[in-house]
Chain A
Amino acid sequence: MTDVTDLCDLEIGELVPELRERRVSPVELTESYLDRIERLDPQLNTYIRVMPDEARAAAREAEREIARGTWRGPLHGVPLGIKDLFDVAGVPTTMGSRILRDNVPTRDATVVARLKSAGAVILGKHNLHEFAFGITSENPHFGVVRNPWDLDRVPGGSSGGTAAAVAAGLCAAGMGSDTGASIRAPASFCGIVGLKPTYGRVSRAGALPLAWSLDHAGPLARSVADCALILQAIAGPDPRDPATSSLEVPDFSAELDQGIRGLRLGVPREYFFDIVEPEVKRLIDLAVATLGRLGAEIEEVSLPHVEHAQVAGNVIMSTEAAAWHDTWLRERPGDYGADVLQRIRGGLLVRATEYLHSQQMRALIQQDFAHVFERVQVVLSPTVPLVAPPIGRTQEPGGPLNVVPRSIANRTTVPCNLTGMPAISVPCGFSEPDGLPVGLQIMGPAFAEPLVLRVAAAYEAATEWRRQRPPISAAIHGSPPGR
């Protein structure tokens, strides 16, 4: 590990006064990131496409605007990365696939347009699990993404390139998507913060789908406050996405420093702690104890139907994916990676009644959470039951539990895709002896992002995890790695 010593290691909240007061220029900042990408990304493989010309042009424009007193807000001049399933006009959106290698959109995704409007500088498009359908980001077409904490381990997925890039300082923050785990699992594996907002809070227009009823777009960043800033820029109704809510968008940063004294936090009795690596359990228990010391009341809660969440989620996900991929499955099966092809084809086999039973189960799980939220404000769990597994060994039993990593990686996250509730992963420590990050998941009622962010911010402020940087960052600064 290393301490913060570089422009690229600063959080957005730390960059804002520097940029606004012109002590740091967007051009200087962008060049720092482009240099770091050039030096580190050959090892990490987080970007499918770097956009240096576009980034430099946007940075120069931001510099001109700030110099003449036009301040667009906290993302003005901030370099961000975009998961390569969001459209950026004029640049291929590959979704990590061979099939879409030459898919060039003419219009920005709504979230990209809103980030640009907020003054952000887009550095490039991030690598991901093929078609966003997997948790490892071992991409057969664009190469394996490596975890900056241990280059022999996966970064998680499907937003693995985004999470690894944020953790290694190859962008200030990034945009990801989450259908079963894809923001939160990589955030957990890479030691950063990832927020899956409420279904309908953020537009999915211009984001290629995996499963329409489960897909969410959200930020990955190095702090809870940074996630709040990005969410502020991208949230709100969008005529291009009929699922977006017309509810008023609150100030997501307003409650971050209010603490959690007197809040009631639930810890589920069932499911979430049934299959968890001992080191993950130890760190989550410590995190829950820390929240208790901050003045929250910890209460055991019961979610009787949640044991079926993973099955229901996987049925819905594979069936909806098969519908979207139907033509390619028949005409271009050879252009898919083996694991993704198998999973999507599995969706072709699901009967309509099984899909509907899974949707009914979804409603039952929503009812369970609704009852729980009558007693507690948020629910806590491990984000993922395990630490990042080794590359190439995610489809075979291993680790302390001797389980297949791919079979359990979305176990604790997919309930919130079914319910649409907001959930955040915040770093809560490092496993011993491997020094791999672990994430605490905080789940809240629909549209309660301010509350979820508030609890996460209180925990983050009480710990030092956010200040840890992976060994690869130490190499950049010329100092020996601490782990």
Chain B
Amino acid sequence: MPERRILPDRGDAAPDIDLPRVRGGRWKLSDQRGRPVLLVFHRHLA
């Protein structure tokens, strides 16, 4: 039986993010503790 991947959902801890910014520097989700965060995942940027 194929393994069923469990996706992070409402109520779960958000997977951490540590990525470069387009305009320089890095951005970490863990640095944002204490304030809400909206993540907007783009599809292609046509």
Answer yes or no: do A and B interact.
no
- What residues of chain A have their CB less than 8 Å away from a CB belonging to chain B? none
